[in-house]
Chains A and B, each alone.
Chain A
Amino acid sequence: MTPTATYSDQFAALATPAGAPAWLPALRQQAFERFTALGFPTTRNEEWHFTSVAPIAERPFKAIKPAATTLTASDLAPWILDPSWHRLVFVNGRFEPGLSQFSELPAEVEVATLSDALRESPEWLSAHLGKLAAFDAAAFTALNTAFMQDGVVIHVPKGETVELPLQILCLADAQAQGAAFHPRLLVVAEAQSQISLIETFAAMGGAEYLVNAVAEVTVADGARVDHYKVQQESTDAYHVSTVQVTQGRDSIYHSFSFAAGAALSRANIYTKLLGTGGEARLNGLYVLDGTQHADHQTFVEHIAEACASRELYKGILDGSSHGVFNGKVYVDPEAQKTDGKQTNKALLLSEQARVDTKPQLEIFADDVKCTHGATVGRLDELPLFYLKSRGIGAESAKALLTYAFAAEVLETIENDPLRLALERAVFERFTHASFE
């Protein structure tokens, strides 16, 4: 059976959600046909040169109908960054209203699950869903679009500020074994609005499953969206995600991608700066061990004038893990006064760990400032000696410097509870000491 055939049977059996609008089956059909035509990417595809998704293609991941969870709020505590925040919780892909809270949002701000939104605001949804996340050349996006069952839809009207962050927690447990999840996120932040989102993907136990997430984010003129993603999937799981953003005039989009889980993960973060004066900041940290593989691909398209983009990605690799960073920056002939900076640094803790890094700058305007830099290395001798000369043992000194390497990028997280949680996770992982 070909990899796509696994999905053909499932697609044929796929039921349209009750009350869904008529355009949905058409969109699904179109997406599935595209997926079938494209097939899973191979390493001959330039976009996937360093990442083989054969393990995903070879496994017959299936949609599941999970039972309602028996987990309680206290079981979720390790992942809930702040109990006062708005949150939507999905367990094994199933929305859990009892574990979620988002009724305290400003009345004008609409937050709903995708299945509710399909029933309640199909017309609005038809104008936005699938409009940014193109699947012509993106098999995983096509697959998500064909199979998306649920997700989150957020509409922040003009001038509205959502004061408290909103956390979306996607949790997998033993029921997730062999399952495929295709969560969908749609964010429309209208002019001068603001929202901060944290997507957390985590697991209880070591199930083998696939998460194939797609997010579409519109950041209109003068709006600001902070979008954090924490990927702590089971180390037997597979995680592919694509975020497609468009930004208006003077808008701000800040993204942070933390990846420590999954056997294989790929995160695509793409933004288009369509309005003058926009700012995009795409930062991230991946921490790998064993045979883990994590690939980040960013793409910043400077279409309008005088936009700024900043990227800082760092990776810490132990065992025989493999990291990939591919940062593309495109500067349109019209995008004069572009200010772009991309940095990526990897720290190798073992002889077997490997990193492939590929910055790609395509600049078609002449009055621009664009820089990029990449380093791959080991811990420096001199800082190690400095710490040892103060009585700190070799192992502790290495651990502390490894943490320090990560801290430089974690410091850019403007959400304090999240920053502290990630600092703590990285600190305790390397030093085996408690974080105070």
Chain B
Amino acid sequence: MLKITNLHASVGEKEILKGISLTVNAGEIHAIMGPNGSGKSTLAQVIAGHPGYEVTSGSIEYDGQDLLELEAEERAQAGVFLAFQYPIEIPGVTNAYFLRAAYNEIRKAHSEPELDPIEFLDVMEEKLKVVEMDASMMQRSVNAGFSGGEKKRNEILQMAVLAPKLAVLDETDSGLDIDALRIVAEGVNKLKRPDNATIVVTHYQRLLNYIIPDHVHVLAGGRIIKSGGKELAHELEAKGYDWLLEPVTA
């Protein structure tokens, strides 16, 4: 589904990703772990098409297409979803309007009929249950005045509504208490299907107690320095990142 080959990306003059290669197949969950500043979030944002990063070399193939050729909205319409580390507040636009606009844009891209507000209510009702959110949240402005946990749940709600093929969760666990973490993780698990894939970007292992990855990759200094199965996450939890970093710097 996703094939990243020797990807280099920069912000301004500074190179952050220095040759990432990664293959993700349908049905898989990949965890990307690593210390702060390793390039994890950059990788997530480059996949989603953040305009602040320049891809200087390498390629990303998604579903047989050149992902880097697509605008951010075209990637979303093709089924790519990024759950933001810091969801953006949009005062003045209700969550209900925002979600329906996004939902309909994606339907339009697939030549499916758009839903009116009443029809969309039915879709919403079902999806709100996935993240245990109250319907009253729909009438509030997007993320405005939401707590950290509410914002992250709202990201997963969007994911539930948009039903992506490839979901990238960027530090979705940061700043969450244990209850919110459980709700978010259960939401992700409920949305799992054999034909979609998930990349979980995280600093800590604890989210991976709830979302069990098939593959774990450690990112440091803009490169994947180690890959393994779910046991690698436990090893990182026990030993930290230093034992992996030393050989690189030596």
Contact = CB atoms under 8 A, between A and B. Distances in A.
Interface string A366-408: 0000000000000001110111111111101100110111111
Contact of A389 (B48, B92, B98, B117): B48
Contact of B91 (A391, A400, A407): A407
Contacts of B204: none
B77 A391 contact: yes
A436 interface: yes
B7 interface: no
B178 to A, nearest CB: 27
A388 B73 contact: yes
B72 A388 contact: yes
27 contacts: A382-B88, A383-B90, A385-B51, A386-B84, A387-B90, A387-B102, A388-B71, A389-B48, A389-B49, A389-B72, A389-B76, A389-B81, A389-B82, A390-B73, A390-B158, A391-B73, A391-B109, A392-B73, A392-B76, A394-B73, A397-B73, A400-B101, A403-B92, A404-B91, A405-B92, A407-B92, A436-B116
A411 interface: yes
A interface majority secondary structure: helix
A235 to B, nearest CB: 26
A391 B162 contact: yes
Given A404-B90, A407-B92, A436-B117, A392 B101 contact: yes
Interface residues of B, number: 31
B106 interface: yes
Interface string B32-70: 000000000000000011111000000000000000000
Contacts of A383: 88, 90
**Which residue, A383, A388, A393, has most C-beta atoms of chain B within 10 A?**
A388
A389 B50 CA distance: 8
Contact of A386 (B75, B77, B88): B88
B105 A391 contact: yes
Contacts of B76: 388-392
B93 interface: yes
A394 B93 contact: no
A408 B101 contact: no
Contacts of A404: 90-93, 141
A392 B105 contact: yes
B49 A388 contact: yes
Interface of B: 48-52, 71-73, 75-77, 81-82, 84, 87-88, 90-93, 98, 101-102, 105-106, 109, 116-117, 141, 158, 162
Q: Size band of the A side of the interface?
A: 20 to 34
Interface of A: 381-383, 385-394, 396-397, 400-401, 403-408, 411, 436
Nearest to A410: B92
Contacts of A388: 49, 71-73, 76
A392 B81 CA distance: 12
A413 to B, nearest CB: 13
A381 B11 CA distance: 15
Contacts of B101: 392, 396, 400
Contacts of B141: 404
Contact of B106 (A387, A391, A394, A406): A391
Contacts of A390: 73, 76, 98, 102, 105, 158, 162
Of A390, A392, A403, the most chain B CB neighbours within 10 A belong to A390
Contact of B102 (A382, A392, A406): A392
Contacts of B84: 386, 389
B43 to A, nearest CB: 15
A403 B94 CA distance: 12
Contacts of A411: 92
Given A389-B49, A389-B82, A391-B102, A400 B72 contact: no
Contact of A394 (B48, B50, B71, B98): B71
A397 to B, nearest CB: 8
Contacts of A405: 92
A401 B71 CA distance: 18
Contacts of A391: 73, 76-77, 102, 105-106, 109, 162
A394 B101 CA distance: 13
Given A385-B50, A392-B102, A408 B92 contact: yes
B105 A400 contact: no
A383 B93 CA distance: 12
Contact of A403 (B77, B87, B93, B106): B93
Nearest to B108: A391
